[in-house]
């Protein structure tokens, strides 16, 4: 069976992407005791999960991933959910 290669897509962070990403999405951050890292999720943006060594790094990674998520949604014509709550970070230390 011959494999077909797909062309990579180029996503752009346009002013529209930045405007949509600036909306107050909630960022949930929790400590993962297995990995020792902090995991960040934006519940409204399905599948957006990232992380970092500190809560601040996890938040920065989530902000960056949010831009990519929104750029991809616009590229493919997918709906972009409205924020459901006040933007907040929650660091839950687990032992």
**Domain assignments of the chain as residue spans, ordered by start:** 38-95
What is the tens place of the pLDDT at every residue in 46-90? 999 999 999 999 999 999 999 999 999 999 999 999 999 654 444
Distance CA 65, CA 6 (A): 22
pLDDT at 93: 39
**With contact defined as beta carbons under 8 Å apart, do 70 and 18 qualify?**
no
pLDDT at 86: 54
Greater confidence (4 vs 50) lies with 50
Share of the chain above pLDDT 70, in %: 85
Burial class of residue 63 (count of CB atoms within 10 Å of its CB; 0-12, 13-18, 19+): middle
pTM comes to: 0.80
Distance CA 13, CA 19 (A): 10
pLDDT at 40: 98
**With contact defined as beta carbons under 8 Å apart, do 75 and 15 qualify?**
no
Q: Minimal CA–CA distance to 69: which of 25, 8, 6?
A: 25
**With contact defined as beta carbons under 8 Å apart, do 86 and 28 qualify?**
no
Model confidence band, residue 6 (pLDDT cutoffs 50, 70, 90): confident
């Amino acid at each position: 069976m011959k494999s077909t290669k797909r062309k990579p897509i180029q996503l752009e962070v346009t002013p529209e992407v930045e405007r949509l990403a600036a909306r107050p999405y909630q960022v949930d951050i929790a400590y993962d005791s297995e990995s020792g890292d902090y995991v960040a999720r934006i519940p409204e943006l399905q599948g957006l999960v990232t992380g970092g060594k500190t809560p601040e790094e996890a938040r920065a990674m989530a902000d960056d991933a949010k831009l990519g998520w929104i750029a991809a949604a616009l590229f493919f014509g997918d709906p972009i959910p409205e924020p459901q709550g006040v933007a907040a970070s929650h660091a839950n230390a687990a032992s």
